A = this chain, B = another copy of it.
Amino acid sequence: MGQLPTVEDVARAAGVSRQTVSNVLNSPQIVKPDTMTRVKAAIAELGYRPHASARRLRTRKSSTIGVRLDPMTNGISGSLLDRFLHALTEQAAERDLRVMLFTAQGPDGEIDEFSRLRDGADVDAFVLTSTVHDDPRTAWLLEHDFPFVTFGRPSGADDLGDPIHPWVDVDGFSGAQQATSHAIAGGARRVGYIGFADESTTALERRAGWAAESAQQLGLDGAELDTLSLAVVDGVPQGNAAALQLLGLPAPPDALVCASDSLALGAMMAAASVGRGELPVIGYDNTPVADAVGLSSVDQPLDLVAQSALELLFGTSGSTIVSRVHSATDPLYRLLTPTLVARKPTQLARVETSGSPVAGNHNER
């Protein structure tokens, strides 16, 4: 099994020329049916596979997407990125695209990597996550006219009308609205909200979703809404603290909507600790933790996010970068709608104790 077969070997075996073999692979429609079968047989026979690097060299396409792995695993929500990465890799494979990882320290380090990967023709495009306002990375990519798409809208600009670059995002307003609506449907009349203490689009729109739904269905006014909500840094202890504070109010909330599963987990524990274990708490991101502790949570359609990202870069099919000059009918962005996953908040207490060892795989490592 010494040498791998080349297009030359296949050509010889099938009694045709190199180029015909190449055509069978790349332009099947222009080759005559019976030569087609002959060549395909030879390919199967020899177990031929095109040499990726040779192809890349000639075509000047790497068929590879670069994604940066964030330096810090972002707390519980870190797995969000993990799941997105998985979805992206899977969707990419369907188009014969590959995902290449890189890491970097800070925006400048990341830009260095952009430059390196671009010049080495290692990647055709980047997918950026956790973008911030006035992101230097998107500025660099735009300036150098290199294809990319962001997961998260470019906050501050005219995102919907005339976005400065392609983006995909999940509608946080809708997510929070659904969560709130679900709590109300469950009988709540004062839905509290624990959100993020920053000015990001994400933070603002999720709170707005909760506020809008509370105002509309429960008739609460701005002052009441302010009383019922807190903005904190993301994290379990912060959620715990905030929930304790809200539950200590003269007129405490009878349900809690949180901007993350971390906050929600903290809130759940807080509620239990003050004897209100039955309090409905709804989280965000639908992380494994939410599933594990039976927490209702807003699920982001990461498969769709990944698919949309690829569509914005490569069109509805194929693996060739589409020009950034989109038609007016085909917008540069995708705003997707999340779904609420309802769970029984009492699941934890209900589980039956099992003394004898139970078989099963636990997916360690």
Residues of B within 8 A of A101 (CB): 85, 89, 98-101
Contact with A262, one of B77, B78, B292 (Cβ below 8 angstroms):
B292
Distance between A243 CB and nearest chain B CB, rounded to angstroms: 9
Instruction: Say yes or no: B292 contacts A362, CB within 8 Å.
Output: no
Asked if A251 CB lies within 8 Å of chain B CBs, one says no
With A52-B120, A364-B196 known as contacts, the answer to whether A237 contacts B81 (CB < 8 A) is no
State in angstroms the CA–CA spacing of A236 and B362 once bound together.
Answer: 12
Q: Are B47 and A119 in contact (CB under 8 A)?
A: yes
Q: Smallest distance from the beta carbon of A123 to chain B beta carbons, Å?
A: 10
| A231 and B357 form a contact (CB under 8 A) | yes
Most chain B CB within 10 A, of A54, A81, A292, A364, is at A364
Extra 13 A-B pairs, beta carbons < 8 Å, given A4-B121, A236-B348: A47-B119, A51-B121, A53-B56, A70-B86, A71-B86, A93-B102, A198-B359, A203-B362, A232-B358, A235-B292, A236-B293, A237-B293, A260-B364
Q: Can you list 30 contacts pairing A with B, beta carbon distance less than 8 Å?
A: A49-B119, A51-B57, A52-B62, A53-B121, A64-B100, A71-B86, A73-B83, A73-B288, A74-B363, A74-B364, A86-B103, A89-B102, A89-B103, A100-B100, A130-B363, A152-B365, A198-B359, A203-B362, A234-B364, A235-B292, A240-B348, A241-B352, A241-B353, A242-B353, A242-B354, A265-B292, A265-B293, A269-B269, A272-B272, A289-B289
Ranked nearest first, the 3 interchain pairs of A and B with the lowest CB-CB distance are A234-B362, A49-B119, A236-B292
